[in-house]
Amino acid sequence: MTLEQRLGFGAGQALGVVLLAGYVLMLAANLPGHLSYDSLIQLHEGRMHVRESIGPALYAWILGAFDEVIPGTGLYVAASGFLVTGSLLSFRRLRRQVSWLSVGLALLLVLTPTLLIYQGVVWKDVLFANLALAGFAALAQAARVWDGPRRPWLALIGALLLFAVAAQVRQNGLIAPVFAAIALAWLAWARNGWRSGLAWGGGGLILTLALSAAMGHLAQPPQAGPDMAGARGLRIVAHYDIVGATAVKPTLPLDAIRQHDPLTERLLRHRGVSLYTPERMDYLGQDAEFGRALWRLPDAVVFAQWRDIVTQHPGAYLRHRWDVFRWVLTTPKIDSCLPMHVGVGGPEDLAASLGLVIAADPADQALFNYATWFFDTPLYSHVFYALIALVCAGVLLWRREGADLVIVAMLLSALAFAASFAVISIACDYRYLYFLDLAAAAGLLYLALDPPYGRLRRRFR
């Protein structure tokens, strides 16, 4: 008698039970959601239809839309979390069979902070990861029936919408739809040649970008004027790079700044450099006078100095950028990289305006204590998840069956997304690379559904 016969149901049903139970457990543990300062300010923007931060306008709009249905973030957390659960459930349709190995792996995954707690934190990083995963899951369903009698338009439209939102929710979220377009092009090229591949991939990307831009424009409150968040964010990165390159090379010439304002140049060399750390940019804000001096500089001066450092002194720039990227990727001091947030935190007046109280109750503290069990383990390491993503992508590229190439695209997009922080990171916050962790876990679960045991044995016999 098989295991399925003894239990009365198969591994596919058991996997569904585990994933749905994990989703319910996540909601029970986290509702109505955990909010940091970033969460509060964007919820306030969404509720009041204003712009007060450089956070994505569409994310604030999404929070506001859910808040109008049921005040707060509980409904948002439930919907965001189900993007992941629904995506993982849909993986079962991508393979001919489901192994019991995948059931055991799913049980482990739903109990890790990656799914159990992080899904309850109201951060754009989490929503972006969920949207990107769901987008690739929809595209994988399209790949599954690509050779059928009719094009899988519903799955393709779903992927288009999900990737369009993802590209707006995270500033570097465009990476996910680019890799999705490559996967779509590959699907069409393999069946109908390069012209078909170019049409499907290029057309899909253009449609996604156009829809994403329209969403971003419509989400901008009319009274807020043009959205300058991107330009302001770029200037913040420029500030950090100028100070960082000067810190690693004290003799670095700062001609553009010195010619415009010698006092600011002296402040940068002395006060700015003394406050610099590759851990995060926030410490530069401890000196209010230095901060005001930097922001008084015209954009043209700041960006001219930035370009000069990048092009004329690449060694100093790359040393600074490598140190910053090392911190965000490896989180050498995990406690300094905000590995978890529970409860409600931020300015009391901002929380009060939303009807919230700054607090972390005993249940929140218990969740945080639970997360600390994982802090010094591979399950809380971006490097570990990057290795998983690489191994899974390699095995799936070798197998190349059904939707394998779409999952490979998801894994490679997560790796590319993480790599983009080598250029834009300003802090080592663990949440920044959450998409890498989630994609690697999803890719491993997909591979575990139908492990290529037989093919591996035949290949190496």
pLDDT in tens, the chain (461 residues): 455 545 557 899 999 999 999 999 999 999 999 999 999 999 999 999 999 888 999 999 999 999 999 999 999 999 999 999 999 999 999 998 999 999 999 999 999 999 999 999 999 999 999 999 999 999 999 999 887 777 789 999 999 999 999 999 998 999 999 999 999 999 988 878 888 889 999 999 999 999 999 999 999 998 877 777 788 899 999 999 999 999 999 999 999 999 999 999 999 999 999 999 999 999 998 889 999 999 999 999 999 999 999 999 999 999 999 999 999 999 999 999 999 999 999 999 999 999 999 998 999 999 999 999 999 999 999 999 999 999 999 999 999 988 999 999 999 999 999 999 999 999 999 999 999 999 999 999 999 999 986 555 444 44
Total-model pTM: 0.94
pLDDT computed for residue 7 by the predictor: 53
Helices within 193-254 (DSSP H only):
194-219, 229-248
Tokens of 171: 């500033």
Dihedral angle over CA of 81, 364, 337, 325, nearest 10: -10
With CA atoms as reference, report the closest residue to 396 among 450, 330, 349, 346: 450
Cβ atoms within 10 Å of 416's Cβ, excluding its own: 15
Q: Is the separation of the CB atoms in 138 and 155 below 8 Å?
A: yes
Give Cα 206 to chain centroid, integer Å: 22
Dihedral angle over CA of 109, 444, 138, 110, nearest 10: 0
Tokens of 20: 């749905």
Q: Calculate ∠ Cα 74-337-282, nearest 5°.
A: 95
Distance CA 220, CA 46 (A): 10
pLDDT computed for residue 50 by the predictor: 93
Sign of CA dihedral 389, 77, 171, 65: positive
> Residue 344 forms beta bridges with which residues?
35, 359
Give Cβ neighbours of residue 37 (< 8 Å, ≥ 6 apart): 345, 346, 347, 350
Q: Is the separation of the CB atoms in 26 and 136 below 8 Å?
A: no
Give Cβ neighbours of residue 206 (< 8 Å, ≥ 6 apart): none
Burial environment of residue 380 by CB neighbours within 10 A (0 to 12, 13 to 18, 19 or more): buried
Burial environment of residue 393 by CB neighbours within 10 A (0 to 12, 13 to 18, 19 or more): buried
Q: Please state the domain extents for the chain.
A: 3-222+348-460, 229-330
pLDDT computed for residue 454 by the predictor: 55
Long-range contacts of 309-315 (CB under 8 A, 24+ apart): 309/241, 309/242, 309/245, 309/252, 310/241, 313/245, 313/249, 313/252, 313/253, 315/249
